[in-house]
Amino acid sequence: MTKLPRSFYLRPTPRVARDLLGKYLVRLIRKRVLVARIVETEAYCQNDPASHSYRGMTKRNEVMFSQGGHLYVYFTYGMHFCANVVTGRAGKGEAVLLRAVQPIEGTDIMLRNRKHRRESNRRGDADLLILTNGPAKLCQALSIGRRENGMDLLGDEIYLLDSPKLLPSEIAASTRIGIRVGKTARWRFFIKGHPWISR
């Protein structure tokens, strides 16, 4: 598999959000490689009242106005980080929220990174299905925080790998989760029936 090229990120944001499904998010931490498959995303465009960029550039969202292919990480609710893939040309202010991923490699590290929030099923075993099934959870598991804000996804610390494009029949779209405005846009995309999508 090869890294996604810059051109992948420079296309319309909803299209990028859909096409990110099935791609692989790679995170390098001290010689360890963590890999997760993207299974759920949400698109946020500049003319979208639910987007951080809707009212223009601020210190908090300035990375969102970078050229497509950078990582925009923001802090929310005073306790969580969320990771977004910046899309479009520089100055546009659009991004795709990574809502859920499936752990593929380095699961032991992901479990350790979330140990203070480790959840168990009725058998008392760590339940991998709830390890990375939400935007805050995946950031905790992959150790993505303030330091990673603005990273170039064509670099070597965090990047995305290509994979065969999913069939239209494998993808579902719905309205986005947890927003107060822009509720009619069907810009949440996920792999149908996938056990790791957020609930």
The pLDDT confidence band at residue 121, using thresholds 50, 70 and 90, is very low
23 falls within a domain: yes
Asked whether residue 194 is assigned to any structural domain, the reply reads no
Instruction: Examine residue 71 and state whether it is found in any structural domain, yes or no.
Output: yes
- What mean pLDDT comes out for the span 42-56? 95
Question: What's the chain's average pLDDT?
Answer: 93
Is residue 48 assigned to a domain? Answer: yes
CATH of residue 149: 3.10.300.10
Distance of CA 105 to the CA centre of its chain: 17
199 assigned to some structural domain: no
- In tens, the pLDDT along 168-190 reads 999 999 999 989 999 999 999 99
Confidence (pLDDT) at 54: 94
Q: Give the range of the structural domain holding residue 176, as residue numbers without chain letter.
A: 6-189
Whether residue 177 contacts residue 159, with contact meaning beta carbons closer than 8 Å, is answered with no
Is the confidence at residue 126, as pLDDT, over 70?
A: no
pLDDT for 119 beyond 80: no
How high is the pLDDT of residue 123? 41
- How does pLDDT run across 134-173, given as a tens digit for each residue? 999 999 999 999 999 999 999 999 999 999 999 999 999 9
Give the count of domains, the chain.
1
Q: Which pTM was predicted? A: 0.93
Q: Are 42 and 85 in contact (CB under 8 A)?
A: no
Outline where the chain has alpha helix (H).
6-9, 13-19, 107-113, 135-141
CA distances from 39 to 8, 56, 77, 134 (A): 18, 30, 24, 10
In a domain? residue 141: yes
What's the mean pLDDT in 70-79? 91
Q: Using CA atoms, how far apart are residues 175 and 60, in angstroms rounded to an integer?
A: 25
Instruction: Quote the pLDDT of residue 125.
Output: 44
What's the rounded Cα separation, in Å, for the pair 55 and 177? Answer: 21
Angle (CA) 33-35-38 rounded to 5° is: 160
Examine the pLDDT at 22 and tell me if it is beyond 80. yes
**64, part of any domain:** yes
Q: Is residue 161 part of a domain?
A: yes
pLDDT of residue 194: 97
